């Protein structure tokens, strides 16, 4: 006989129904439900009691609406959604709790209660009042029916998730991406400002209005550069230019300029109100003024004023987004400014190049006439005239050099025509193998005389090649002549071969070769390899450049492969067929005079090189390899780190068209690669094994040797927090995948350009600082030697007893003047060390400060016999300081007091020791220090006006040095100066100098 298992009974008592449930369970247990619409818990329907238990036990935001009035019961996870509505919302009708949105959600819930299907809403915008204002909030939720005990529908189960952060984050990210994409098209600052601000139009929910002000170069005024979200007719009430020196403008730009921090404005200026557009959204009542930063450590380049949405809480997320907007503006303006500067430099160079080309063209034309009139009669004489041998040799010399000059003039003319776009090629179908072999064979005799072997391997081609024969002649002759010039033994090989879609001409030699760092510039105009061993040091440096330009006119390319000490190979590739050539220039007649002279000038030049032995080398035959370092490639050396093979290959291919790229699979490998050869820029994915992008970033920034390398992070994390984290960690830029090739190249080029300009400025500043320190050191040393002799002699004489009063006074003045000059030299040296050399050297040691004070006072009293110095000391004077530096402090302060006090008045020096510190004061009577001078009193080159005699001037460095010495010992210095009370300098020092400060020295 079997028994049925007992049925699970729904909980019946309040303690059972509300068991557990966290804070909401406790709240439900505390409510007297008999006084509510639901009645005592024991009488609740079993379905309601069961569902309440399910809701309280869930960690997902859930609630139950029960009965005709949909009484509300919810769990802990739902409570944050209610905000200020809690706890009054527990047990209250849903329509009363959510009155402001009931017109939207009420019909859904009531429909489900009456028998309609369950509902589902995703990212629905609801304007709720839970924090004292109508807030923009987004929710994904569903309404599901709850059956009652009679089989009908007794209530509604609501599951809900707030998605405000997700929706707003995606909206803000899209705004930032639009700013970056749009502004990178800008070619000047005004366009960058307009495009970047234009991207804000699509986000009035976060940015009701925005104003951008840009500072002038003097930093005194800011002009309105762009405005968004404001009526054009209302903008006339706002001043277009603001005074940055005045704190009385509508916007607190003066405060933002001083602090570099955002400042909130509330209420808005009255004259802004007519310009507010609204457009269906509530009018803002607050704004935030943010700095648009320039280079690190400099004043902002502008200010961004943004309206704050009345429907959003101004929290860290909102403020972080606005700061990113300002940061993107800063980046856009910096890129545009760099582009403008580069464009101006390029235009200046282009103008110079055009002027140079015009000059060459004019000169070339003017030269050709007299050269023609000179060479014509010369050739006639040499051909038909009967000349004495000596005269013939002289005329041949003139003729040979005339041809050489004619060749150079024609080359310059070719260049001027190329630059002006006036080259008129005439492309003819040509048996290129026969033409090339004939040109190369012309050098047979010269090669034999030089002891070189000439190999000509020009295989017959299956079809004619379209070339301008005169231009091709110049290409071949220049390449062979160049090879001959730098080859002293071995062979020169000229090869022409068919490669299907192109033909390839190579001229190889076994000559001196070309250094790797020179190969990238070998085809530049007027560039000559320094120290290269050749048959002659003469040359215009335009032969190979002309080769490149002529080959380009044929749609081809030229390259060089070379190993120092082994030789070089120049390779020219020409496309076959004629589709790549201008149709109108195929078999076109020539309308301009020819600049071709054939092989004669080249052969004459080669023969002249053989007339004397080759010059000795100016460097070792085998040049050392270039040391590893940054910037070896023309476009830059980039280190790419990404663990995804496909992404790594894709980015590498994008960059390799312009840069040298090394790719590694993780941050650890990237770190090792940087230590071997520091790159010009690091491009790193954020998420990688071993060491992620942020870890790589921190490691590079922590190493002084790599801290300045620009770093761009790549990430698929499309959120504000990820971008903020990357930028705050020290990245120069942050690029979110997917990105376009154009955007990536623009970011990389911009970062490289800014880094190169920054490095150049730092190099110039370092060179200037080193020279200044070196110069001052030499001058100071040369001045100190005679001063030491003067001081020693004066001191010795003053100690004698046979001097008269007049002589003693004269010697005292000599001693005082020498000491003053010595102090000035010492201050100049200390100032240089503090400002340029990383700080004053500090060497703490045990010291009796009271004894030191007495010694300094005695010395100064001797130097100033007509003045009274009063010394008062108390307590223990033992300390651990640098004695020489502390003597310098006392000497400067007491000397300063003597210098600026009234004659006949005493200078008072007081020192009293406490448990951990020693305090000393120097007081003098006289005219107080001007109030406007007090804030900058301890800056260099600041001097007060001396009362009475102004004969003894100083350089204004004494107090500057005193301040840095005191701070290097961990102390403080302050000054009080008032009318009728005089001036007092007060120094407070710990008895022991902190170790870290002693190691750093007195740095400014």
Neighbours of 866 (CB within 10 A): 8
Q: Are residues 603 and 655 in the same domain?
A: no
Whether 672 is covered by a domain: the verdict is yes
Write the pLDDT tens digit of every residue in 593-611.
555 567 777 787 777 667 4
Give the SS3 label for residue 852: helix
Closest CA to 168 of 328, 306, 312, 60: 312
Lowest mean pLDDT among 3-12, 333-342, 582-591, 935-944: 3-12
pLDDT of 737 above 80: no
User: 450-453 contacts: CB < 8 A, separation 24 or more?
Assistant: 450/484, 450/488, 450/606, 450/610, 451/489, 452/484, 452/487, 452/489, 452/490, 452/491, 452/492, 453/490, 453/491, 453/492
Tokens of 31: 């409510």
Q: What is the CATH number of the domain that holds 514?
A: 3.30.565.10
Q: Are residues 547 and 455 in the same domain?
A: yes
How far, in Å, CA of 786 to CA of 791, rounded?
A: 9
Residue with tokens 């009708």: 93
Write the pLDDT tens digit of every residue in 739-750.
788 888 888 998
Mean pLDDT along residues 553-564: 90
Whether 618 is covered by a domain: the verdict is no
Look at residue 958 in the predicted model and tell me its pLDDT.
76
Residues 134, 139, 144: CA angle, nearest 5 degrees: 125
Q: What is the CATH number of the domain that holds 699?
A: 3.40.50.2300
Mean pLDDT along residues 1-8: 44
At residue 907 the predicted structure's pLDDT band, cuts being 50, 70 and 90, is very high
Write the pLDDT tens digit of every residue in 576-596.
888 888 888 888 776 555 555
Mean pLDDT along residues 344-357: 76
Closest CA to 744 of 170, 184, 171: 184
Q: Are residues 478 and 567 in the same domain?
A: yes
Tokens of 956: 């204004």
Whether 271 is covered by a domain: the verdict is no
Q: Are residues 579 and 659 in the same domain?
A: no
Q: Are residues 443 and 564 in the same domain?
A: yes
Look at residue 352 in the predicted model and tell me its pLDDT.
75
How far, in Å, CA of 304 to CA of 215, rounded?
A: 11
Residue with tokens 């000035």: 824
Look at residue 632 in the predicted model and tell me its pLDDT.
37
pLDDT of 946 above 60: no
Q: Are residues 486 and 601 in the same domain?
A: yes
DSSP state of 283: P
Exposed (0-12), middle (13-18) or buried (19+): which is 208, by Cβ within 10 Å? buried
Look at residue 3 in the predicted model and tell me its pLDDT.
43
Mean pLDDT along residues 703-709: 88
Whether 286 is covered by a domain: the verdict is no
Q: Are residues 647 and 601 in the same domain?
A: no
- Give the CA distances from residue 217 to residues 69, 294, 576, 612, in Å, rounded to whole numbers and listed in that order: 68, 12, 57, 62
- Give the CA distances from residue 526 to residues 278, 381, 417, 543, in Å, rounded to whole numbers and listed in that order: 64, 36, 17, 9
Mean pLDDT along residues 106-112: 94
DSSP state of 524: S
pLDDT of 630 above 70: no
Which residues neighbour 617 within 8 Å (Cβ) at sequence distance 6 or greater? Answer: 512, 533
Mean pLDDT along residues 825-838: 62
Q: Are residues 559 and 690 in the same domain?
A: no
Query: Where would I find the beta strands (DSSP E) of 668-737?
Result: 681-685, 711-715, 733-736
Look at residue 572 in the predicted model and tell me its pLDDT.
93
Query: Of the candidates 130, 162, 194, which is a domain's last residue?
Result: 162
Query: If residue 352 lies in a helix (H) or strand (E), which one and from where to where?
Result: helix 316-384
Three-state SS annotation for 620-665? CCCCCCCCCCCCCCCCCEEEEECCCHHHHHHHHHHHHCCCEEEEEC
Q: What is the mean pLDDT of the chain?
A: 81
DSSP state of 244: T
pLDDT of 30 above 80: yes
Q: Are residues 604 and 644 in the same domain?
A: no
Which residues neighbour 59 within 8 Å (Cβ) at sequence distance 6 or greater? Answer: 77
Residue 971's domain spans which residues?
Answer: 838-1000
Mean pLDDT along residues 419-447: 84
pLDDT of 276 above 70: yes
How far, in Å, CA of 766 to CA of 1000, rounded?
A: 20
Highest mean pLDDT among 239-253, 338-352, 572-586, 775-789: 572-586
Q: How far is CA 649 from the centre of its chain?
A: 26
pTM of the model: 0.44
Tokens of 273: 């109100």
At residue 1002 the predicted structure's pLDDT band, cuts being 50, 70 and 90, is very low
Query: Of the candidates 739, 773, 792, which is a domain's last residue?
Result: 739
Look at residue 130 in the predicted model and tell me its pLDDT.
93
Whether 843 is covered by a domain: the verdict is yes
Query: Of the candidates 691, 721, 739, which is a domain's last residue?
Result: 739
Look at residue 318 in the predicted model and tell me its pLDDT.
93
How far, in Å, CA of 879 to CA of 916, rounded?
A: 9
How far, in Å, CA of 732 to CA of 710, rounded?
A: 6
pLDDT of 281 above 90: no
**Are the CB atoms for 481 and 606 separated by under 8 Å?**
yes
Whether 152 is covered by a domain: the verdict is yes
Which residues neighbour 167 within 8 Å (Cβ) at sequence distance 6 or greater? Answer: 123, 138
- Give the CA distances from residue 835 to residues 315, 832, 967, in Å, rounded to whole numbers and listed in that order: 42, 5, 15
Could you give phi then psi for residue 783, rounded to 5 degrees? -80, -30
Q: What is the CATH number of the domain that holds 120?
A: 3.30.450.20
Mean pLDDT along residues 670-697: 88
Whether 407 is covered by a domain: the verdict is no
Whether 678 is covered by a domain: the verdict is yes
Residue with tokens 């749609």: 555
User: 216-223 contacts: CB < 8 A, separation 24 or more?
Assistant: 219/244, 219/299, 220/244, 220/245, 222/253, 222/302, 222/303
How far, in Å, CA of 598 to CA of 904, rounded?
A: 98
At residue 717 the predicted structure's pLDDT band, cuts being 50, 70 and 90, is low
Write the pLDDT tens digit of every residue in 447-470.
888 889 999 989 899 999 899 888
Q: Are residues 600 and 658 in the same domain?
A: no
DSSP state of 190: H
How far, in Å, CA of 268 to CA of 289, rounded?
A: 12
pLDDT of 923 above 90: yes
At residue 10 the predicted structure's pLDDT band, cuts being 50, 70 and 90, is low
How far, in Å, CA of 293 to CA of 324, rounded?
A: 11
**Are the CB atoms for 72 and 42 separated by under 8 Å?**
no
Q: Are residues 601 and 669 in the same domain?
A: no
Write the pLDDT tens digit of every residue in 209-252.
999 999 888 888 889 999 998 888 778 888 888 888 877 778 88
- Give the CA distances from residue 917 to residues 894, 985, 991, 993, in Å, rounded to whole numbers and listed in that order: 21, 16, 5, 11
Mean pLDDT along residues 16-24: 87
Lowest mean pLDDT among 61-75, 728-742, 897-911: 728-742
| Residue count (the chain) | 1004
pLDDT of 365 above 80: no
- Give the CA distances from residue 794 to residues 266, 684, 790, in Å, rounded to whole numbers and listed in that order: 71, 70, 6
- Give the CA distances from residue 63 to residues 80, 146, 270, 903, in Å, rounded to whole numbers and listed in that order: 13, 12, 46, 90
Angular region, 838: left φ>0, alpha ψ -120 to 50, beta rest: left
**Are the CB atoms for 817 and 824 separated by under 8 Å?**
no
Look at residue 997 in the predicted model and tell me its pLDDT.
56
Q: Are residues 125 and 28 in the same domain?
A: yes
Q: How many domains does the chain have?
A: 4
């Amino acid at each position: 006989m079997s028994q049925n298992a007992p049925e699970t009974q729904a909980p019946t008592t309040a303690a059972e129904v509300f068991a557990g449930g966290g804070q909401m369970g406790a709240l439900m247990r505390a409510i007297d439900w008999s006084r509510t619409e639901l009645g005592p818990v024991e009488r609740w329907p079993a379905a309601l009691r069961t569902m309440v238990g399910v809701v309280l036990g869930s960690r997902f935001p859930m609630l139950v609406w029960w009965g005709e009035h949909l009484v509300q019961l919810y769990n802990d996870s739902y409570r944050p959604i209610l905000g200020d509505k809690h706890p009054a919302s527990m047990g209250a009708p849903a329509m009363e709790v959510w009155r402001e949105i009931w017109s939207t959600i009420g019909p859904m819930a009531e429909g489900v209660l009456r028998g309609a299907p369950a509902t589902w809403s995703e990212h629905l915008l609801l304007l709720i009042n839970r924090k004292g204002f109508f807030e923009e909030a987004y929710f994904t939720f569903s309404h599901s029916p709850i059956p009652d005990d009679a089989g009908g529908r007794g209530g509604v189960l609501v599951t809900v998730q707030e998605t405000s952060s997700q929706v707003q984050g995606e909206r803000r990210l899209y705004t930032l991406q639009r700013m970056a994409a749009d502004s990178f098209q800008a070619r000047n600052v005004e366009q960058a400002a307009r495009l970047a601000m234009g991207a804000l139009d699509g986000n009035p929910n976060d940015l009701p209005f925005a104003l951008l002000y840009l500072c002038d170069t003097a930093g005194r005024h800011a002009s309105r550069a762009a405005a968004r979200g404001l009526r054009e007719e209302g903008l006339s009430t706002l001043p277009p230019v603001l005074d940055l020196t005045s704190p009385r403008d509508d916007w607190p730009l003066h405060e933002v300029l001083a602090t570099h921090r955002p400042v909130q404005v509330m209420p808005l200026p009255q004259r802004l109100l007519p310009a507010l557009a609204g457009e269906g959204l509530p009018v803002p009542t607050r704004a935030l003024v943010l700095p648009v930063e320039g280079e690190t450590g400099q004043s902002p380049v502008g200010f961004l004023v943004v309206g704050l949405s009345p429907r959003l809480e101004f929290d860290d997320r909102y403020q972080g987004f606005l700061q990113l907007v300002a940061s993107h503006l800063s980046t856009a303006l910096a890129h545009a400014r760099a582009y403008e500067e580069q464009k101006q430099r390029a235009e200046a160079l282009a103008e110079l190049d055009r002027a140079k080309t015009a000059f060459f063209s004019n000169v070339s034309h003017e030269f050709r006439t007299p050269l023609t009139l000179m060479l014509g009669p010369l050739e006639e004489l040499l051909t038909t005239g009967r000349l004495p041998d000596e005269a013939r040799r002289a005329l041949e010399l003139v003729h040979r050099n005339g041809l050489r000059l004619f060749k150079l003039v024609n080359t310059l003319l070719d260049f001027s025509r190329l630059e002006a776009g006036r080259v008129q090629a005439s492309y003819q179908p040509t048996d290129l193998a026969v033409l090339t072999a004939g040109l190369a064979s012309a050098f047979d005799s010269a090669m034999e005389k030089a002891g070189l072997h000439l190999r000509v391997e020009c295989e017959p081609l299956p079809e004619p090649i379209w070339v301008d024969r005169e231009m091709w002649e110049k290409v071949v002759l220049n390449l062979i002549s160049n090879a001959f010039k730098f080859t002293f033994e071995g062979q020169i090989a000229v090869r022409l071969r068919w490669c299907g879609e192109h033909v390839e001409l190579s001229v190889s030699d076994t000559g001196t070769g070309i250094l790797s760092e020179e190969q990238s510039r070998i085809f530049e105009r007027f560039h000559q390899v320094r120290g290269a061993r050749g048959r002659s040091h003469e040359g215009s440096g335009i032969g190979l450049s002309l080769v490149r330009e002529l080959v380009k006119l044929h749609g081809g390319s030229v390259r060089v492969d070379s190993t120092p000490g082994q030789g070089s190979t120049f390779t020219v590739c020409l496309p076959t067929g004629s589709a790549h050539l201008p149709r109108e220039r195929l078999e076109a007649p020539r309308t301009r005079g020819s600049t071709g002279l054939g092989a004669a000038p080249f052969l004459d030049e080669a023969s002249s090189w053989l007339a004397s032995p080759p010059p000795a080398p100016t460097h070792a035959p085998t040049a050392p390899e270039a040391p590893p370092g940054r910037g070896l490639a023309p476009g830059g050396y980039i280190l790419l780190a990404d663990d995804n093979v496909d992404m790594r290959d894709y980015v590498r291919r994008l960059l390799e068209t312009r840069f040298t790229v090394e790719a590694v699979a993780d941050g650890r490998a990237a770190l090792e690669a940087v230590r071997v050869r520091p790159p010009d820029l690091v491009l790193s994915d954020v998420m990688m094994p071993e060491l992620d992008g942020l870890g790589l970033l921190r490691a590079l920034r922590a190493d002084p040797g790599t801290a300045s390398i620009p770093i761009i992070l790549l990430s698929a994390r499309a959120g504000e927090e990820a971008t903020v984290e990357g930028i705050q960690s020290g990245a120069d830029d942050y690029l979110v995948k997917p990105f376009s090739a154009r955007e990536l190249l623009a970011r990389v080029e911009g970062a490289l350009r800014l880094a190169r300009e920054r490095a150049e400025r730092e190099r110039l500043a370092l060179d200037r600082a080193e020279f200044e320190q070196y110069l001052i050191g030499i001058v100071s040393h040369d001045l100190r030697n005679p001063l030491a002799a003067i001081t020693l002699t004066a001191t010795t004489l003053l100690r004698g007893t046979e001097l008269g009063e007049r002589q003693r006074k004269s010697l005292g003045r000599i001693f005082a003047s020498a000491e003053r000059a010595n102090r000035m030299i010492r201050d100049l040296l200390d100032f240089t060390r503090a400002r340029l050399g990383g700080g004053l050297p500090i060497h703490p040691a045990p010291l009796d400060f009271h004894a030191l004070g007495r010694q300094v006072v005695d010395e100064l009293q001797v130097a100033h016999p007509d003045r009274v110095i009063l010394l008062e000391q108390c307590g223990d004077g033992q300390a651990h300081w640098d004695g020489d530096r502390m003597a310098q402090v006392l000497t400067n302060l007491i000397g300063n007091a003597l210098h600026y006090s009234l004659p006949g008045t005493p200078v008072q020096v007081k020192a009293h020791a406490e448990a951990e510190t020693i305090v000393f004061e120097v007081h003098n009577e006289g005219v107080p220090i001007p109030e406007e001078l007090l804030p900058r009193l301890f800056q260099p080159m600041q001097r007060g006006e001396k009362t009475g005699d102004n004969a003894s001037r100083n350089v204004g460095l004494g107090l500057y040095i005193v301040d840095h010495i005191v701070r290097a010992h961990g102390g403080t210095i302050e000054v009080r100066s008032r009318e009728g009370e005089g001036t007092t300098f007060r120094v407070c020092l710990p008895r022991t100098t902190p170790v870290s400060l002693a190691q750093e020295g007195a740095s400014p």
